[in-house]
Amino acid sequence: MHEMSIAVEVCSIAQRHVPRDELENIVEVGLEVGDGSGIEPDSLEFWLESMLTHPPFKAAKPVIKRVPGDVLRVSYLEVDDGRPDD
Amino acid sequence: MAVRTIEVRERVMAKNDELAAEVRRRLAAHRVPALNLVSGPGAGKTALLERTLEALGNDLQLAVVTGDVQTQNDADRLSRYTDRLVQAVVTGGACHLDARQIHTSLDAVELDHTDLLFIENVGNLVCPASWDLGETAKVVLFAVTEGEDKPVKYPKMFREARYAVLTKVDLLPFVPFERDKAVAMARDVNPNLQFFFTSAVTQEGLDGWFTFLRELVAKAQ
């Protein structure tokens, strides 16, 4: 049940790391979720899929990596800067 | 398209834990121990607090923050047993209290005139286990009507708790519940759990709980 609260916190972390006008350019949010973290990854993914496709985000996809232990962290953010590849 | 990767490596609970640490600092500065009472709905957290406020309220300065998804019913019940304002946190749907709510609630608690703080969490054996509120310890309650295997069904909560209260023991003659089996299952999950066996109706076992609370306050002074 608390996966919704966790998803809100993940969105807050993304907002702290990316300027507001670039939040809609986030394409991927990478997370590590420990087997002993008390978090149900499918439920967390469900909430994140919902939140990350609504403003201030647009089309970000959560990518959850399951790991041992009780770790629960955002590991990376991928941002499309809109420019063509060099 | 050019995609850049931002390394974050930030714990999701970092903000909560930061606020929990601040709560802990504020409580320590005033030498106030805090117990976070957690259980499934209906295990008897409010009833245990009613008996506690009734029995110790004249000798100790007790403060309570109580959380519920909706209604202030628990706060209203507890207010009958104390002259102090019972802080009610209505979570509006959230299944647990968080450190931010406790941090805010402390503004209204006269810590200089408090010996012991109780936090009655939202009734839920899953979610509150993941949130540090800045408490001294979690106390997990479960009732004899719930079955012996609660600790193994909800291991994170029983691992996080330092104390366990088996409630409604007055109903033991009427329900198929083996006390020793329940304790063994709990200790399988957390060998260091200290148990209390209580009934808020007959008052059985409450003396031990009250002695524990008095000692907790004395140690903090």
pLDDT band at A66 (very low <50, low <70, confident <90, very high): very high
- Scanning the structure block, which residue is given the tokens 């979570």? B91
Residue B217: the pLDDT is 98
Residue B179: the pLDDT is 97
Q: Which two tokens stand for residue B54?
A: 């009734």
Q: Are B4 and A78 within 8 A, CB to CB?
A: yes
Residue A38 to residue A25: CA distance in whole angstroms: 30
Q: What is the mean pLDDT of residues A2-18?
A: 94
A71 vs B contacts (CB less than 8 Å): 11
Q: Are B11 and A73 within 8 A, CB to CB?
A: yes
Residue A46: the pLDDT is 95
Alpha-helical (H) ranges within chain A are: 3-17, 41-51
Alpha-helical (H) ranges within chain B are: 14-29, 45-56, 73-79, 99-106, 150-153, 155-160, 179-189, 206-220
Collapsed DSSP state (helix, strand, coil) of residue B93 = coil
Residue B138 to residue A83: CA distance in whole angstroms: 52
pLDDT at A85 over 70: no
> For chain B (length 221 residues), average pLDDT per consecutive 10?
91 93 98 98 97 96 91 90 86 87 94 96 91 97 96 95 98 97 98 98 98 98 89
CATH of domain A3-79: 3.30.2320.50
Q: Which of A10, A12, A78 sits opposite B5 (nearest CB)?
A: A78
A25 vs B contacts (CB less than 8 Å): none
Q: Which two tokens stand for residue B3?
A: 């995609």
How many angstroms separate the Cα of B75 from the Cα of each of B140, B171, B202? 19, 26, 23
pLDDT at A86 over 60: no
Query: Considering just the CA atoms, what is the radius of gyration of chain A in Å?
Result: 13
- Fill in the amino acid letter for A29: V
ipTM of this complex: 0.90
Residue B123: the pLDDT is 92
User: Is any Cβ of chain A less than 8 angstroms from the Cβ of B91?
Assistant: no
Residue B127 to residue B130: CA distance in whole angstroms: 6
Q: Which of B1, B12, B16 sits opposite A80 (nearest CB)?
A: B1
The pTM for the full model equals: 0.88
pLDDT band at A5 (very low <50, low <70, confident <90, very high): confident
Q: Are A17 and B8 within 8 A, CB to CB?
A: yes
Q: Which of A17, A83, A84 sits opposite B6 (nearest CB)?
A: A17
pLDDT band at A1 (very low <50, low <70, confident <90, very high): low
Q: Which of B5, B6, B127 sits opposite A2 (nearest CB)?
A: B127
Residue A14: the pLDDT is 97
Residue A84: the pLDDT is 67
Give me the residue spans of the domains in chain A: 3-79
Write down the architecture of domain B14-220 according to CATH. Answer: 3-Layer(aba) Sandwich (3.40)
Q: Å from A75 to nearest chain B CA? A: 4
Go through B123-162 and write b for each residue having 16 or more CB atoms within 10 A of its CB, e for each that does not: bbbbbbbbbbbbbbebbbbbbbebebebbeebbbbbbbbb
Least Cα distance to B107 among B134, B137, B87 occurs for B87
| Phi and psi angles of residue A9, each rounded to the nearest 5 degrees, phi first | -65, -40
Q: Which residues pair with B142 in a beta bridge?
A: B166
